[in-house]
A and B are shown apart, each in its own frame.
Chain A
């Protein structure tokens, strides 16, 4: 197990370290197993402010598990995850829930919008959970739907929208709280090439405008190319021979 592997980062080694240079999110030597099956075997990774990191690797390599650990959905068996200097991996479930609601946005392969809610209500949901009043939440949601080019579908149900439109609405939901980090797990996995390209370019544009860091999980080289760098996960470990900064 490589518990002390160097942390892949775009930030050059040495020199003065300013706040801007400090990673927003970092994981050190995280280990996670599903029962007796190890999924992560000592992974370390950093994400800088406003950085777009593509985590790639073959199916079953552990990249989605890594994302879930980084986002505080899963608690690693060993190792630490830090967000802005706060230890996420040791926080209680309710604290991690609150963190995901306020500082993280998560986008899954299938939009996972609530089918009974309208697109605007789906996007407004994280704001309502934070105590924002309905009118303000819906107004903000509509603005975010507009930023992703689907404001026309604000009153539509997910079942009345195309796959690409649903995914853009889901991206708006992930961004509506203006999170520090957006996690996107195979965001174009269920879309055709054109719709996937539209979704990715909009996510990247909005993230750049908002200075949001993005962690993209993908096995698609085209999607990985949207990242500032690529971190390759293989057999639950970082493949340093292929990560963005080379070996």
Chain B
């Protein structure tokens, strides 16, 4: 009998030997990886645009000063995808945990079992990345269209003039260097693999099963402190940066750090809020759906907040974008639609980010249903209407989401108003001799857009949670009562 490290081929075979839910997890990870790779390569295309490329029909691509905005928007879209890939590691987790426990029973060490799980994710991510690269190459060929249009020409003296000629819709003429393509594919693959290994850090794998240690008491004070310091810091930084000359790199670095604090505080806070609401509601209510939702919120406060993470992040950024938009539009002549068009484009990207984020809710809610299918099937067999369980699942998802979305949109808006101010100077009268007159104009608070942002995010989240309830019927069939736990 030989002992020692198992061959890689054995680990590979074990990694890919799962059932239906394992194949679903692999497929979803691959899809997430492909989409992330595609977005990153698109961002790389924009980064690689040089003076010889173009011109492009869209000003945000054609004008060098506006390209960073496009790059940031594309990177912003990768955030929900990264969270999506992280959540994919939880799809079919109970079945996978049992399979991994069987490997332990058969003699695999905990490290080998972690490697098997990480290998599975890594291979799925690699497959997805390669598909993403292929889709990028094919997309460049298919979308390489030219048309007649206007574009801006910058002369040698720096002056700008408008011209008419052949323009491209997208930067499909830009060659992304091969090493960059390899680096993006490798980054996505390695990132997913490492994330998978990290996700197993709280899991103790034994031959008798896997124990997942989940913190049950979310830190309320730390969350509040992080949010208050983060959002307050952003406001303060905005005021300071307007009143005195500040170094741009320092300003950007500090802004990102405070923004991150704000996000972490919100996410921890939503878990804490979830548990607090649960503790308030569960011991008092007579409604069974509220009772089940309330107890779930106490028991698993991170479930909903984890799923809501990317929605909250997108809304926070959305609040900041709305604040910035209001400021820019207030300082411009209403007949000049350039900034309005640019911000509309950014709003579409944000909308896409929120939809992608809501897709994460589908995964989390359906996973929570499938995980508890034996209990739920027994309740339905005992006469509990499925509608009661459906309402409990929706409440569990939405109770922490609603206040988090409200806080996130307010914090984003506040940060933008602090950075750009609440008043702007607008050109009131133009004088060729240089005696232009400016008027101070108040920047309006974009209440309508804020309500649309927050309400839209919540509505899309409700829709996503409702979609995931299709798993409820399948998971509460009588046959599930005897399904393995």
Contact = CB atoms under 8 A, between A and B. Distances in A.
Most buried by A among B288, B292, B374, B383: B383
Interface string A92-117: 00100111111011101110111111
Interface stretch (B103-111, B138-146, B279-287, B348-356): B279-287
Nearest to A134: B286
Interface string A105-133: 11011101111110001000110110011
Interface stretch (A66-74, A144-152, A223-231, A235-243): A66-74
A71 B384 contact: no
Contact of B382 (A116, A126, A132): A126
Given A112-B481, A116-B298, A128-B291, A101 B375 contact: no
Contacts of A185: 481
Contacts of B381: 68, 71, 73, 100, 106, 108
A134 B285 contact: yes
Contact of B288 (A94, A108, A113, A125): A125
| Range, interface on chain B | 20 to 34
B482 interface: yes
A116 B481 contact: no
B291 A97 contact: no
Contacts of B478: 68, 73-74
Contacts of B482: 64, 109
A141 interface: no
A137 interface: yes
Interface in B436-485: 478-479, 481-482, 485
B257 interface: no
Given A116-B295, A121-B295, A126 B374 contact: no
A152 B452 CA distance: 52
B contacts with A: majority SS? helix
| Range, interface on chain A | 35 or more
B57 to A, nearest CB: 55
A146 B54 CA distance: 81
Contacts of B285: 134
Nearest to A102: B383
B298 A129 contact: no
A174 interface: yes
Interface of B: 284-288, 291-292, 295-296, 298-300, 372, 374-375, 378-385, 388, 478-479, 481-482, 485
Interface of A: 34, 64, 68, 71, 73-74, 94, 97-102, 104-106, 108-110, 112-117, 121, 125-126, 128-129, 132-134, 137, 173-174, 185
